[in-house]
Structure 1
Amino acid sequence: MISSFSERLKLAREKAELSQVDVMERVGINNKTLSGYETEKAEPDIGTINLLCDLYGVSADWLFGRTKVKNIYVTSKQTFINLSDESFITSEVDYQEKSLTESQKHRLLKMMRLFLD
């Protein structure tokens, strides 16, 4: 389980599929500075935290370990799961901050179909 701010910060960047250099190019935070944040050698100010939260699509509450919900922002985009095909299996599904394996997604899909029949 991820517990520290620095671990969550690094995970958020990786889930956003960004390298430290990508972050530097997008928002101007030096990659060595970002590395310091991710290794607990430095602490970002509140403005930097907000900037990184927006870039990574996560909430500050999640970064600080106050909630398990990574993204609390409301968007107009809705995700629909089609239980009649296998698209669920190929989609990214997380539970308690861990990605489900293909086997777990197959079992979950089977349980959802049983529940709804």
Structure 2
Amino acid sequence: MASTSEFSRTLSLLRKERGVSQRTAAGDLGISQALLSHYENGVREPGLSFVVKACDYYNVSADFILGRTLSREGSMLNSEEVLNAAEPGNILQGSVLATLQSKLLSGAVGVLFGLLGKLGDKAAINAAADYLGGGVYQLYRHLYRCAGANEDYFALDSGDCAMDVSDADRKLAEVRYAHALRDRAEKKEPFPDLSPAALAAAYPGRCQSMTQVLSTADARMNGLTER
């Protein structure tokens, strides 16, 4: 887990704040006291099911317990929603934090494209795919480069890539996306109901992923603009 020390510290503080012993908390969470001690001391990394149980037990968001935000509030995914989206057999691929973030983003993207699919606007759908695909490309290429792999694998020259070509590509995709939606609005064509109740009904489970992603990003960017 990328923030194992933060998770361990938060887990221990939450238990002490609740005023329960390690033995009591372990029993309530369905694990041994020794295992909880390992989690609280950063000796071992828990599975996703334990993370969501701990969120429910201490009534905090996953972002808070993983050390990604100081806010305790937020949509809290339950174990079924998280593990249903996991790899076959609910096997974790990498750290808990990486796996949870993957599932949150996967769920949010699923909701976004579900809504775009209801519009039936090919231009908006393709532009959204280009934008998100460009982001994945850029992040993967950074990883690829730092791992020392041969960048001849890519058609885009490494020098051009360093000149923010992918950023320009994403910005143009965002422009095409905005234009497609604006054209639709100007023609008075219908949009899907985006109220929380409607989204929860249309996308049970995945809707919470979207809420969590939006809330985290909104708080992060708002922090950049606060004076």
Superposed pair shares fold, TM > 0.5: yes
1:27-60 CA distances to partner (integer Å, 9 max, x unpaired)? 3211110000010100110000100111111111
Task: Give the 4+ runs in structure 1 shifted more than 4 A.
Answer: none
Contact 2:61–2:74 (Cα < 8 Å) also in 1: yes
Counterpart in the other structure of 2:42: 40
Q: Aligned pairs, how many?
A: 72
Point out the structure with the larger helix share.
Answer: 2
**Bigger Cα Rg:** 2
Counterpart in the other structure of 1:58: 60
Counterpart in the other structure of 1:31: 33
Paired with 1:18 and 1:54, the residues of 2 have a C-alpha distance of: 16
* Aligned-pair identity (%): 36
Paired with 2:39 and 2:16, the residues of 1 have a C-alpha distance of: 14
Paired with 1:42 and 1:56, the residues of 2 have a C-alpha distance of: 20
1:13 to 12, 15, 22: 15
Contact 1:59–1:70 (Cα < 8 Å) also in 2: yes
Contact 2:64–2:70 (Cα < 8 Å) also in 1: yes
Query: Where in structure 1 are there 5+ consecutive unaligned residues?
Result: 75-117
Query: Where in structure 2 are there 5+ consecutive unaligned residues?
Result: 77-227
Counterpart in the other structure of 2:6: 4
Change in Cα spacing, 1:71 to 1:17, as seen in structure 2 (3 Å) is: farther
Contact 1:12–1:58 (Cα < 8 Å) also in 2: no
Change in Cα spacing, 1:51 to 1:25, as seen in structure 2 (3 Å) is: same
1:37-88 CA distances to partner (integer Å, 9 max, x unpaired)? 01010011000010011111111100111111123369xxxxxxxxxxxxxx
Change in Cα spacing, 1:57 to 1:25, as seen in structure 2 (3 Å) is: same
